[in-house]
Chains A and B, each alone.
Chain A
Amino acid sequence: MSGVADQVTTRREAARANSVSAVADRWSNALQRVPLHIVIIIFCAVWIIPTIGMVVNSFRSVSEMGQAGWWTTLFPPHGFTLASYQQVLNTENVGTSIVNSVLITIPATVIQLAIATMGAYAFAWMKFPGKNIFFIVIVGLMVVPIQMTLIPVLQFFKATGLSGTITAVWLAHSGYGLPFEVFLLRNYLGGLPREVFESAEVDGAGHAVRFLRIAVPMTIPAIASLTIFVFLGVWNDLLVALTFLGTSPNRPFTVVITQLVTSFGGGWQFLTAAAVLQMALPLAVFIALQRYFVRGVTAGSVKG
C-alpha cells in the first residue's frame, strides 16, 4: 500500500519540480536554512580566527603588537617582518630543542606501537588464564592520570640512572600510552576474520608467522592512524617532558617555549613565532594524513 503512495508522491513531486511554486519552495527552504548557515559560519569563525590572529602576529614587530591588534596589519601599511622568527631561532636552545622533540617523538611512537601490537595480538587471539583480569587492569589504567605516577617513576629513573635522558622519556611515554593502544588494537585485531588465521594454522604457520604475515598487514589502517595519534600526543606533550627533562639539555620544544614564557614575562609577542613553529609539524602531519587519523580513531571506538 505504501509503495503506491510512494510512487504517487514521487511522480507528483517530479511534476511540480519545475513549476514556479517549486522554485519558490526551494528558495524558501534555502532561506530557512540561512540560520543554519549562519550558525555554522559563526562556529567556524570562532574556531579559526584565533589561530589566524596568532599567525599574523608572528609576522609583526614586537612594538607593533603592543600597540594594536593583529587585524590592523591586514590593512596597509602592513609592516610584516620576520624579526620574531629570527629572534626565536637565535635564542639559545631553541634549535636543539626542536631536534630533541623529533628525537623524543619518533622513537617513543615506534616503541610503544611495537609493544602494543604484540600485546594486543596476545589478548585478541590467545587464550590464557587470567587474560581477562590483565586486560581489565590495562583498560582501567587508561583513566589513570599521569600525575599519579610521576614521583615513583622519577625515583625509578634515578635508581636506574636514566634521569634526564631521552631514553627515560621514551619509556615513560610508552608506559603511559600502552593502555589505550592495547585497548584499541585489541578491538581491531579481534575483529579480523578468524578463518584467515585458522587456515594459516592448518598450513603449519606458527603464531609468529601468523602475527607478522597476517595480523600486522591487516591491521595497518589502525596502526597508521594510531601512529599519527601517538605522534601528535608525544610531540605536543608538556607535562611529561617538563617533569622528566625540565632542566636537562635534552628538553623538547614545548618545554623551551614554556620556559621562554616565564623568562620574557610580558614578551609573549616573541612566542608567536615559537608557537607557529611548534604547531607547523603537527598541522602538516594532520593535513597530509587526515584520512587515516579519522578512520582509525573511529574504528576502535565505534565498533561493537
Chain B
Amino acid sequence: MDQIITAIGAIVLVPLVLLGYILLGERVIERLPERIQEWFRPYFWALPAIGFATIFMVYPLLRTVVISFRNNADTTWVGFDNYVYFFTFPSTLTSLRNSLLWLVFYTFFAVGLGLIIAIMVDRVRYESLAKIAIFLPVPISAVAASIIWKFMFDYQAPGTTQTGTLNALLGVVGHEPVAWLVNSTTNNAALIFVGIWSATGFAMVIISASLKAISSEVLEAARIDGANEFRIVQLIVTPLLWPTITVIGTTMIINALKTFDIVYVLTAGAYDTDVIATQMFSQLAHAHFSRAAAVGVVLFAAIVPLLVVNIRRFQQQEEQR
C-alpha cells in the first residue's frame, strides 16, 4: 500500500517540485544582475537533466572503463588482463561475433524491409490495415515476443506431430523438422529474425511518413518521362529518404548491439547464440565485475564510430538552424 502512495506521490510531487524549482529559481535569478543572469539561468534550468545524465551515464561510463583495467576486488591495476581474457576465450569471442551478426543483419533487414514495405503499402488501398499489422509487434515486449516465437520454433521428434508452426509447415512439404534454436546453422538467424520481426514496423512507420512527404509532382513527372517504378525508387525515392534512413539505421544499430531480452529468454545464450549483453550479464552474475566491465567497454568501442557520426550530424543540423 505504501508503494502505491509513494508512486502517486512521485507522479504528483515531482512535477510540482520541478515547478517550484523553476518558479522560485526564477524569482531569485531575476533579482541578480543582468550579466550573471545570462549564464546562471541556463545552467539552473538544465541542471536536473545534466545532473541525471552525469550520475547515470557519464560517471558510470568512465568508472566502467576504469574498472575494466583493475582486478575484481578493485585493489590493484591489472592492465589489459581482462581484455586478454575477452579476446582469448572462445565464449566471449563468440558473443562478439554474434553481436556483429546482429549488427549487420538486424539493421539491414529491419531498415530494408521497413523501406520496401513502406513503398509497397503506399500503393494499395488497405494501407492503414497493412501498416497496423506490421507495426503490431513493436509495442510488444521482447519477453512476450520471445514466447510468441518459442511456439513458432517448437520442435518435436521427427515422425511425431509437430507443435511448432514452422516445423508443421515444413511437415506439409515433407521436410524433417528443424531444431531452430539448437541447430547452429539456424539459431542465430532465428533469434535475429525475432528481432527483425519486432523492429521492422518501427522503421516502416517512420520511413512511410517521410515517403509521404515526397512531392507527388516529382514522382508524376518521372513517370510521364517513362521511368519504370523500380528506377523511380532507386533514383528518386531512396536518395530523398536517405536522411531518414540514416536516422533509423543508427537507432537500429544501437538496438542490435544492445540486444539482451530476446537472447536471454529464448536460449539464455546457449549453443553459441550469446551476444555481448548476455555475456556481460552472466559475468556479472558470476561476480566477475572487471571482466564484465571489459565486455562493456568493447561494446562501447564498437559504438564509438556511431557516436562520432551522430555528433557530426547534429553539428550539421545546428549550422542549418
Residues from chain A with a CB closer than 8 A to the CB of B3 are 99-100, 103, 166, 250
Within 8 A of B (CB), among A41-83: 43-44, 46-51, 53-54, 57, 65-71
Within 8 A of A (CB), among B20-78: 22-23, 25-26, 30, 38-39, 41-43, 45-46, 48-50, 52-53, 55-61, 63-64, 67
Residues from chain B with a CB closer than 8 A to the CB of A116 are 49
Q: Count contacts on B: residues with CB < 8 A to the other chain.
A: 114
User: If the complex has contacts A44-B133, A53-B165, are A156 and B55 also in contact, measured as CB distance less than 8 A?
Assistant: yes
Question: Are B206 and A301 within 8 A (Cβ)?
Answer: yes
Name the residue among B60, B206, B284, B321 with the largest chain A CB count within 10 angstroms: B60
User: If the complex has contacts A39-B120, A254-B143, are A119 and B148 also in contact, measured as CB distance less than 8 A?
Assistant: no
Question: Are B53 and A141 within 8 A (Cβ)?
Answer: yes
Chain B nearest Cβ from A116, distance in angstroms? 6
Question: Are B48 and A106 within 8 A (Cβ)?
Answer: no
Residues from chain B with a CB closer than 8 A to the CB of A57 are 151
- Does B104 touch A at the CB level, under 8 Å? no
Residues from chain A with a CB closer than 8 A to the CB of B247 are 301-302
- How many Å lie between the Cα of A126 and that of B258 in the bound state? 34
User: If the complex has contacts A134-B46, A151-B292, A152-B63, are A258 and B206 also in contact, measured as CB distance less than 8 A?
Assistant: no
The stretch that binds A, out of B79-87, B230-238, B293-301, is B293-301
- Does A223 touch B at the CB level, under 8 Å? no
Chain B nearest Cβ from A43, distance in angstroms? 6
Chain A nearest Cβ from B254, distance in angstroms? 5
- How many Å lie between the Cα of A120 and that of B50 in the bound state? 11
Question: Are B59 and A70 within 8 A (Cβ)?
Answer: no
Interface 1/0 per residue, B182-222 and A, CB below 8 Å: 00000000000000010011000110011001000000000
Question: Are A302 and B18 within 8 A (Cβ)?
Answer: no
The residue on A at minimum CB distance from B258 is A145
Question: Are B58 and A137 within 8 A (Cβ)?
Answer: yes
Residues from chain A with a CB closer than 8 A to the CB of B101 are none
Name the residue among A119, A190, A272 with the largest chain B CB count within 10 angstroms: A119
The stretch that binds B, out of A19-27, A195-203, A278-286, is A278-286
- How many Å lie between the Cα of A49 and that of B164 in the bound state? 12
Question: Are A145 and B18 within 8 A (Cβ)?
Answer: no
- How many Å lie between the Cα of A137 and that of B314 in the bound state? 11
Partner of A283, one of B14, B139, B258: B139
Question: Are A51 and B209 within 8 A (Cβ)?
Answer: no
- How many Å lie between the Cα of A236 and that of B321 in the bound state? 36
- How many Å lie between the Cα of A129 and that of B39 in the bound state? 7
- How many Å lie between the Cα of A274 and that of B7 in the bound state? 24
Residues from chain B with a CB closer than 8 A to the CB of A242 are 281
Interface 1/0 per residue, B120-146 and A, CB below 8 Å: 110110000110111011111111100
- Does B4 touch A at the CB level, under 8 Å? yes
Chain B interface SS verdict (over half): helix
Residues from chain B with a CB closer than 8 A to the CB of A114 are 14-15, 18
- How many Å lie between the Cα of A122 and that of B41 in the bound state? 9
- How many Å lie between the Cα of A39 and that of B22 in the bound state? 55
Question: Are B303 and A179 within 8 A (Cβ)?
Answer: no
- How many Å lie between the Cα of A199 and that of B67 in the bound state? 53
Chain A interface SS verdict (over half): helix
User: If the complex has contacts A151-B284, A152-B59, A166-B3, are A144 and B130 also in contact, measured as CB distance less than 8 A?
Assistant: no
Question: Are B165 and A50 within 8 A (Cβ)?
Answer: yes
Chain A nearest Cβ from B150, distance in angstroms? 5
- Does A121 touch B at the CB level, under 8 Å? yes
User: If the complex has contacts A57-B151, A190-B321, A238-B143, are A148 and B11 also in contact, measured as CB distance less than 8 A?
Assistant: no
Partner of A147, one of B18, B280, B317: B280
Question: Are B14 and A301 within 8 A (Cβ)?
Answer: no
Residues from chain A with a CB closer than 8 A to the CB of B213 are 302
- Does A230 touch B at the CB level, under 8 Å? no
- How many Å lie between the Cα of A272 and that of B264 in the bound state? 17
Question: Are A121 and B14 within 8 A (Cβ)?
Answer: no
Question: Are A206 and B284 within 8 A (Cβ)?
Answer: no
Residues from chain B with a CB closer than 8 A to the CB of A8 are none
The residue on B at minimum CB distance from A257 is B143
- Does B272 touch A at the CB level, under 8 Å? no
Partner of A143, one of B42, B49, B310: B310
- Does A89 touch B at the CB level, under 8 Å? no
Question: Are A141 and B58 within 8 A (Cβ)?
Answer: yes
- How many Å lie between the Cα of A297 and that of B90 in the bound state? 40
Question: Are B310 and A142 within 8 A (Cβ)?
Answer: yes
- Does A140 touch B at the CB level, under 8 Å? yes
Question: Are A69 and B165 within 8 A (Cβ)?
Answer: yes
Residues from chain A with a CB closer than 8 A to the CB of B23 are 208
Residues from chain A with a CB closer than 8 A to the CB of B124 are 33, 36-37, 40
Residues from chain A with a CB closer than 8 A to the CB of B200 are 47
Residues from chain A with a CB closer than 8 A to the CB of B209 are 294, 298, 302
Question: Are A145 and B148 within 8 A (Cβ)?
Answer: no
Name the residue among A65, A116, A132, A301 with the largest chain B CB count within 10 angstroms: A301
- How many Å lie between the Cα of A110 and that of B19 in the bound state? 13
Question: Are A297 and B58 within 8 A (Cβ)?
Answer: no
Question: Are B310 and A139 within 8 A (Cβ)?
Answer: yes
- Given A36-B124, A44-B133; 6 other pairs, CB 8 A cutoff: A115-B52, A143-B306, A175-B55, A207-B41, A211-B22, A239-B281
| A/B interface sample: 14 pairs, CB < 8 A | A44-B130, A47-B136, A50-B148, A68-B161, A69-B161, A70-B165, A122-B49, A126-B42, A149-B56, A236-B140, A238-B142, A239-B260, A294-B205, A301-B247
Q: Which 6 A-B pairs have the closest CB atoms?
A: A175-B56, A119-B49, A236-B141, A149-B60, A128-B42, A122-B45
